[in-house]
Amino acid sequence: MSIRVGILDQTPIYEGETPVDAFRHTIELARRAEQLGFYRFWVSEHHDGQHVAGSSPEVLISHLLAHTERIRLGSGGVMLQHYSPYKVAENFNVLAALGPGRIDLGIGRAPGGLPRSTQALQQGIQESASLQEKIVQVKRYIHNEPLADATHPLAGLSASPVSANPAELYVLGASVDSANMAAELGLPYVFSLFINSNTEIALEAVRVYRERFDRSRGLEPYAALAISLIVAESEEEAEELASEHKLVKIHLESGKVLTVGSVEQAEEFGRQSNEAYRVEMLEPSVIRGTKATAGQALLELQQEFAIEEMIVTTATRDFSKRIRSFELLHELLAEQGNYHFVLGSENEQEKAEAAIG
């Protein structure tokens, strides 16, 4: 089975570098991803952090449009809980007009930052619509669908510019609840295995998504898996690169569990939340190895989950090692022949997309 392979970049700020350097790396990686033939390139949203620079995916995507020609670009994801669905739709309609047929809007559930940044982002917001309700609104605005209630105060409102090639919506999550929401909405779903490495939960989420998917509009489920992956020249190098990071989770007294970037950020989150908390450090869920071992692991994942796409994030403290990991990933996928890449000219890309279906 052929599947798509995309990239998620979190615009990390390496030690001794600045946010300017981080954005320069993201631009370079996006251009290289296009040259290698990866299907899409997504950027993330984080707030009030010293180790990642990407706080505004919409702005970054617009810049990447100007530095690439074919590769799909999108958000992984926009934290919609903080924002007006109407304004998010307008932003992505502008992007869709600037890059017709190339824009994705991935919507995430996490706060994307510390409690004080959430408070600042939501300052003055009075409505408390659920995330699912907000996604419904974004979808309606992006597709310019009229309200069923003609007497509603917002009846007839459009999110301009109305695009003939609107952004594609994706629900991002790491739980069965998020999978169920994506299924009810009839939207593509991405399970973040690099955030929640519990394979049983991931398998159940994908199963629930496929079984409960709303096919009433003639659409079929589209499931993707977001994974952390490091491919290196040797097993020893892969292990060394993977050991540079730890998975840090904070458990709040209220029952919430969040993944954060460092122990320091977890402790600060706990202080700002005004709740009792505990910090847990785990070995990160990173698939790592040479082309042979990493390739076998990817095949096993695809066979186990029967997914349509993998979205890969690679975290190393050396940018050149990160670039090299994606180059090796490209080589192993091309060699295996079990994966499909969108390569070459626009005409070749159209043929490839048609082959994928």
Query: Domain check: are 28 and 153 in the same one?
Result: yes
Does a structural domain hold residue 24? yes
What is the Cα–Cα distance from 51 to 129, expressed in whole angstroms? 31
Band the pLDDT of 125: cuts 50, 70, 90.
confident
Do 165 and 279 lie in one domain? The reply is no
The per-residue pLDDT for 1 is 55
The reply to whether 116 falls in a domain is yes
- Domain of residue 267: give its range: 246-283
Q: How far apart are CA 71 and CA 260, in angstroms?
A: 29
Omega before 100 cis (within 30°)?
Answer: no
pLDDT at 327 over 50: yes
Spatial distance between the Cα atoms of 205 and 159, rounded to a whole number of angstroms: 32
pLDDT of residue 357: 38
Answer yes or no: is 144 within a domain: yes
* CA nearest neighbour of 44 among 121, 114, 104: 104
Give the percent of the chain with pLDDT over 90.
66
Look at the chain and report how many structural domains it folds into: 2
Distance, CA of 44 to CA of 74 (rounded, Å)? 9
Q: Let me know: does 246 contact 284? Beta carbons within 8 Å.
A: yes
Q: What pLDDT does 35 receive?
A: 95
Query: Could you tell me which residues are beta bridge partners of residue 73?
Result: 41, 103
Specify the pLDDT at position 346: 45
Segment 160-176 mean pLDDT = 95
- Identify the weakest region by mean pLDDT among 199-203, 227-231, 256-260, 339-343: 339-343
| Same-domain check for residues 152 and 301 | yes
> Is the per-residue pLDDT at 343 higher than 70?
no
Considering only CA atoms, which of 329, 325, 332, 331 is closest in space to residue 244?
Answer: 325
Indicate if 137 and 267 belong to the same structural domain.
no
Q: How far is CA 65 from the centre of its chain?
A: 17
Domain stops at, among 257, 283, 309: 283
pLDDT of residue 89: 97
Residue with tokens 């970054």: 60
Give the number of other CB atoms < 10 A from CB of residue 274. Answer: 10
pTM exceeding the 0.85 threshold for the entire prediction: yes
Complete DSSP assignment for 273-311: HTS-EEEEEE---EEEE-HHHHHHHHHHHHHHH--SEEE
Domain termination residue (choose one: 227, 262, 283): 283
Do residues 119 and 93 share a domain? yes
What local confidence, expressed as pLDDT, does residue 275 receive? 85
Check whether residue 226 and residue 158 sit in a common domain. yes
Does one domain contain both 279 and 301? no
Q: Does residue 98 register a pLDDT over 50?
A: yes
**241 located within any domain:** no
Q: Assess whether 164 and 298 both reside in one domain.
A: yes
Cα–Cα distance between 167 and 154 in angstroms, integer?
A: 22
Structure tokens of 235?
């097993």
Q: What is the mean pLDDT of the chain?
A: 89
Higher pLDDT, 313 or 109: 313
**Does residue 323 share a domain with residue 190?**
yes
181 and 215 in contact (C-beta within 8 Å)? no
> Which one is predicted more confidently, 195 or 161?
161
Residues 156 and 28 grouped into a single domain: yes
pLDDT at 220 over 80: yes
Q: What is the C-alpha to C-alpha distance for residues 287 and 295, in angstroms, rounded to an integer?
A: 10
Q: How far apart are CA 163 and CA 146, in angstroms?
A: 15
The CATH number covering residue 166 comes to 3.20.20.30
Please say if the pLDDT value at position 86 is more than 80. yes
Q: Are residues 206 and 250 in the same domain?
A: no
Q: In the structure, what pLDDT confidence band is assigned to residue 263 with cuts at 50, 70 and 90?
A: confident
Q: What would the DSSP string read from start to end of 320-335?
A: HHHHHHHHHHHHHHHH
My answer on whether 221 and 89 are in the same domain is yes
Asked whether the predicted pLDDT for residue 288 surpasses 50, the reply is yes
The number of residues in the chain equals 357
Least confident of 18-22, 44-48, 238-242, 248-252: 248-252
User: pLDDT tens digits, residue range 17-47?
Assistant: 999 999 999 999 999 999 999 999 999 999 9
CB contact burial 67-99 (16+ within 10 A = b; e otherwise) = ebebbbbbbbbbbbbbbebbebbbbbbbbbbeb
